[in-house]
Structure formats: C-alpha cells, structure tokens
Amino acid sequence: MRWVLHVDLDEFLAAVEVLRHPDLAGKPVVVGGRGDPTERGVVSTASYAARKFGVRSGMPLRVAARKIPDAVFLPVDADAYNEMSRRVMDALRGLGITVEVLGWDEAFLGVESSDPEAFATVVRQSVLDATGLHCSVGIGDNKLRAKIATGFGKPRGQFTLTRDNWYSVMGDLGPIALWGIGAKTAKKLDAIGIRTVRELASSSVDEMASRFGPKTGPWLVGLGRGVGSAEVSSEPWVARSHSRETTFQHNLADWDEVAEHVRRLAARVTEDIRAEKRPGVRVEIKLRYAPFFTRTTSRALPDPTLDPSVISAAAVSLLDRFDHERQVRLVGVRVEMVESG
C-alpha cells in the first residue's frame, strides 16, 4: 500500500506574482530575466493565459513579446519564490509523510495509504490552504510513473499511473512523452523505427545496448516499460556543482573581453564552492554563439582545489577550444565539486 506522489505547483512563479499583485489574475504574465523584453533573456515561467499564445519556458523574452505584445513582463524574484517554496514544503511535511524536494515547485512524496486518490486531494487542499497556490498531483507505484502522471492531471488536478494502466495510457504515445527522453533521443529512436512507448518497451535489450551503449540502451527499454525507483528520501538535496553565466545585450567579437568575463564568473563560482568548503575537481565552459548555438567543453583539474587563480586559469584555457571567428552572446562557467562528505 505504499505509493509515490509527485506534487507540481501550477505556473509557480507566475502564480506567486499573481498572489502579490491580484490585478494580474487571468492576464498573460511572463516572468524572466529583468522583466524587460527588449533585453536578452529567457522566459522562466509563463502563466496559462500566456501559454495559450505559445509562450514557453526557455523561450527568448523578445520572442515572447512578439507573440503577446500586451503581456505583463516581470523580473525573476528569487527571494520571494524561495520563501513561498519553503511554505509549500512545510505544508507537505506537516502531513507526516516523507518529502523529497526536487526544486522550487515540485517534490516527491512517500505515502502509505489504501486510498492514494483521496490522499492526493488532501495534499492539494493543504497546499492551497497554506499558500493560496494550486498544485497538481501525480500518483504512481514509482517515481517515473508519478512524475509522468502529474502532466495528465494539470492544471489543478490529479491522475494515477501504475503498471495496470501503463500501456493503455502511454503505449501509443511517442517516446518523448517519457520523463528522461528529449528531442534528440526521440529522433534517434525514430530513425530506427521506434515511434511509440510500446515499441520501445518491446525492443531487444541487447540490440538497444549495442546501439546506445551498455547502460543507456537497457535504461531506455526500462523507461518504455515504466520501470523506475520507488524510493523517496527526505535527505536534503546536495549540489554536485555550481555555475554562473551572463547574457550579453550585444554580441561580443573581442575574445579578450570574453576571457575577462570568464575570469569574473570563475571568481564568483569559486566563492560559491568555498562557501560549501568542497574543492572543485572539474571546470566547464558554456558558450552561446550568435544567433543561438550553444556549445560546452570541460576539463578535469589536476587536483581538487579552492584556489581561484587555478580555477580561473583552467576556465580561460578552455576558450582555446572554441571558434574565435564567431561572436558570443552568452558565457557560463560551471565547477564540479568533490562529493559531499
């Protein structure tokens, strides 16, 4: 009688803004960057009213503004979202269950119940009473199924997905409907004739291993069959890395200037890992060329270190691997740390 529930706040950032500004209710609200659609930046969240016009997370703000010229654009307010997220998670923990926090707006719950649907209703009402926010709940016999089920329950609803109805619900959908499969992998599967979840589930494990690798191939077949972990842990999430990035309002053609930005970002990331007292072991650089092509590269550090000069030098050296004939619109630095403990 043990279940996994996945809780996902509906249009979280936009919903928080509507709570703060009730006059925005029902209007197309777009949260992202500094709230200025004339600047470079991306959509963090769009309200459902904005999504009807095709605005999605990750979309450039300028594109969103072209789709909805009269939308309300607001800057990201991390402090406000952190506080509201804390209230949501406290409300969930108050139900006396195991809560595994996944981020600002979602969590897995480990629940023992003979009526998980009724418990999911209690969850939704508890979050609403504590915060004024609506959420959707997916009910499953493992994390994979619970996570996917949430999408069928949105908005403000719930859905149950288990081994009993897995193929009736998921069988004829494309593999991209599975949590963990993106557009690139779906395209590769399509190229070998796998176009549905049912076809993926019935694929030969050995053949998939030969095509995608000894770990990835069998894992993909498992996804098609709805296989996943049912363990929910209340242990705090521990970051594996820290990163910083900046988007330039005008493309940079001077690579000495690009290098200077890398140094500044590396210094900030070093401060982040120093605060955790966990030395860095690998440095990664992300560059987005104009107009919108992103490339990353990384290298291991000779020894674990918290030395900003070592990390900065390693980050700048990675720029040699990029095409200096192209202009740059974004640069980012990420540092992986030694494992906690």
Q: Are 124 and 137 in contact (CB under 8 A)?
A: yes
Over the Cα atoms of the chain, what is R_g?
22
Q: Are 136 and 6 in contact (CB under 8 A)?
A: no
Omega before residue 304 within 30° of 0, cis: no
- What is the CA angle 91-232-224, rounded to 5? 120
Q: Are 150 and 137 in contact (CB under 8 A)?
A: yes
Q: Kindly name the residue from 11, 106, 284, 336 that is annotated as catalytic.
A: 106
325 is catalytic: no
Q: Tokens standing for 79?
A: 């402090």
Instruction: State the sign of the Cα–Cα–Cα–Cα dihedral 131, 136, 141, 142.
Output: negative
- Judging by beta carbons within 10 Å of its beta carbon (0-12, 13-18, 19+), is residue 249 exposed, middle or buried? exposed
| The amino acid at 67 | K
Nearest alpha carbon to residue 146 among 117, 171, 175: 117
Q: Just list the catalytic residues.
A: 106
